[in-house]
Amino acid sequence: MLKQSLQQKLLQRLSPQQIQVIKLLEIPTMQLEQRIKKELEENPTLEEGVDHEDEQNQEDTQNDENEKQEDEEFTLEDYLNDEDVPSYRLSASNYSKDDKHEEIPFSTGISFHEQLKKQLGWRVLSEREKNLGLYIIGNIDDDGYLRRDLSAISDDLAFSAGVEATEKELEGILHVIQDFDPIGVGARNLQECLLIQIDSKDQSVPPIALAQKILKHHFEEFTRKHYDKIKTRLNLSDEELKESVDEILKLNPKPGGSLNDPHNRISFNIVPDFIVDQVDGELVLSLNSRNVPDLKINRQYSQMLRSYAANKDNATKEQKEAVTFVKQKIDSARWFIDAIKQRQNTLLYTMQAIIEYQEEFFRTGEEVNLRPMILKDIAEVTNLDISTISRVANSKYVQTNFGIFSLKYFFSEGMQTDSGEEVSTKEIKKILQDCVDAEDKTKPLTDERLMLILKEMGYPIARRTVAKYREQLKIPVARLRKELL
């Protein structure tokens, strides 16, 4: 049974303008520059320049004749009679939010896989062998490894290309590829990669022959740095072990990386969003808007609307459609300009709060002077939402007298020392890093020993916390830091 009823709901929804502000708030300066350029291309009513509305109004009253000449140069009729403007441009709904916009990357030079294909062409092989070789090369990753089983490649060839190839046949082609430059390419694991490289060297040299034996028969002990076990099983002296290990360390664990053209790699230039200077002992904050242009509404389009408003009773249907389109574009331009201004104000306001909270660091540049600070602390100071602070800190950088830092660098948790002082975890990590850097590499410090050192310095943290900080600093465990004299 169908039934109609009325319901009253209170919902909170973001307006298109608010969504635009949020999106602009997230992007860094470099992307903002690109976003503004895109808006300038898509919106003809938006242009670069400072909008001096008051000056323009005064100029309007003093130069009526000049304005009439400008109106004659660009009028609504000219807009309607412009043959270059297609009909679909009269509609504001040209794009959907679900549209997928892809950028096609531009690369120069020759790629890693193209180098391998080129070397394959130099070998005397049958057409079938070359085709199989091309398929194997296509499965080699950028590090130079073939991480797929030959049985899986054989199945793929059978199902997708209708080519029957046994694992033995593919193995033979793979051995040909493993002879390509750089040595080690086409290996299926690290052990095979290093063995291919060591086998290509002169085996009559004792350290090289010994290194080959270690990699072939004692690889697991080598990766775990159980040097004492290797020394005992092979009856080696310290000097012999060190020479052979040095030969292994000269090998390249990622052969594909040495052949990749540097022009094909994506490089990221950090453009700071904020600049903090010390002027006469005062910290001065400014936004880096060097490449971000000022924006204003195109005066000719504004005048077009005014002239239409004065004669709208006599306007034709085509004129009304054109003016509706122009008005939508002008409104969009105004929203965009307001969103840019709101973004700048929010960024400055938030960054100023961070500077005041971390003033000692911005004056000295010493990491130990960083105070514990979380998003909530800045949100309470600025009376902004935590999500807004998070968007401001995301992918933003600040340039100081001591270098360029990510805004996320200033946010860290804190803990209390034995004296009751609140310190940042970054300070503890710095001490931990210094301890590891200064340790005896033949007897590296264990997590237990690092915990005792920190306790002696007044930082009462558990061993598992030391292990967590060590992993965050990407420091391996003690046995993997061990080195031979």
- Is 89 part of any domain? no
- Is 456 part of any domain? yes
Low-confidence ranges of the chain (pLDDT < 50): 54-55, 58, 61-62, 64-74, 76, 79-85, 87-95, 97-108, 261-267
Which backbone phi and psi does 444 adopt, to 5 degrees? -65, 155
Q: Are residues 286 and 356 in the same domain?
A: yes
Tens-digit pLDDT profile for residues 172-198 = 999 999 999 889 999 999 999 999 999
Q: What is the CATH number of the domain that holds 435?
A: 1.10.10.60
d(CA 320, CA 279): 56
Q: Tokens for 480?
A: 């993997």
d(CA 39, CA 32): 10
274 by Cβ neighbours in 10 Å (0-12 / 13-18 / 19+) ranks as: buried
Give the closest residue to 283 by CA, choosing from 339, 212, 213, 362: 362
Question: Quick check: 473 and 433 in contact, CB under 8 A?
Answer: yes
Alpha carbon 81 to chain centroid, angstroms: 47
Q: What is the pLDDT of residue 215?
A: 92
- Rg (alpha carbons) of the chain, rounded to whole number: 33
Structure-derived torsion over alpha carbons of residues 109, 115, 119, 122, reported in degrees to the nearest 10: -30
Domain stop point among 395, 412, 429:
412
Q: Are residues 206 and 324 in the same domain?
A: no
Question: Quick check: 481 and 475 in contact, CB under 8 A?
Answer: yes
Q: Tokens for 222?
A: 């080598």
d(CA 101, CA 16): 20
Q: What is the pLDDT of residue 103?
A: 45
Q: Look up the domain containing 144 and give its range.
A: 111-188
Q: What is the pLDDT of residue 293?
A: 80
Q: Are residues 210 and 314 in the same domain?
A: no
Q: Are residues 170 and 115 in the same domain?
A: yes
Cis bond upstream, residue 182 (ω within 30): yes
Q: Are residues 273 and 390 in the same domain?
A: yes
95 by Cβ neighbours in 10 Å (0-12 / 13-18 / 19+) ranks as: exposed
Q: Are residues 158 and 291 in the same domain?
A: no
Q: Are residues 127 and 251 in the same domain?
A: no
Longest dimension (CA), the chain: 105
Q: Are residues 335 and 390 in the same domain?
A: yes
Q: What is the pLDDT of residue 443?
A: 86
Q: What is the pLDDT of residue 107?
A: 45
Q: Are residues 358 and 293 in the same domain?
A: yes
d(CA 20, CA 17): 5
Give the closest residue to 480 by CA, choosing from 225, 227, 231, 228: 225
User: Could you give the angle at the alpha carbon of 365 between the alpha carbons of 364 and 371, nearest 5°?
Assistant: 90
Which backbone phi and psi does 424 adopt, to 5 degrees? -80, 150
The Cα-based distances of 442 to 210, 313, 361, 432, 478 in angstroms read 22, 92, 36, 18, 10
Q: Are residues 216 and 227 in the same domain?
A: yes
- Is 48 part of any domain? yes
What is the C-alpha end-to-end distance of the chain, expressed in Å? 88
Produce one character per residue of 23-48: b if its CB has 16 or more CB atoms within 10 Å, e if not. ebbebbbbebbebbeebbeebbbbbe
What pairing do the DSSP bridges indicate for beta strands 282-287 and 403-406?
Answer: unpaired
Q: Tokens for 241?
A: 């072990």
Alpha carbon 210 to chain centroid, angstroms: 43
Question: Quick check: 421 and 368 in contact, CB under 8 A?
Answer: no
Q: What is the CATH number of the domain that holds 134?
A: 1.10.10.1330
Which residues contact residue 67 at a Cβ distance below 8 angstroms, ignoring those fewer than 6 apart? 60, 303
Domain stop point among 355, 381, 412:
412
Amino acid letter at 170?
L
- pTM over 0.75, yes/no: no
- Is 5 part of any domain? no
Domain stop point among 138, 155, 188:
188
- Is 63 part of any domain? yes
Amino acid letter at 259?
L
Q: What is the pLDDT of residue 354?
A: 94
Q: Are residues 399 and 335 in the same domain?
A: yes
- Is 466 part of any domain? yes
Q: Are residues 184 and 194 in the same domain?
A: no
Domain count for the chain: 4
- Is 77 part of any domain? no
Give the closest residue to 403 by CA, choosing from 367, 445, 378: 367
- Is 316 part of any domain? yes
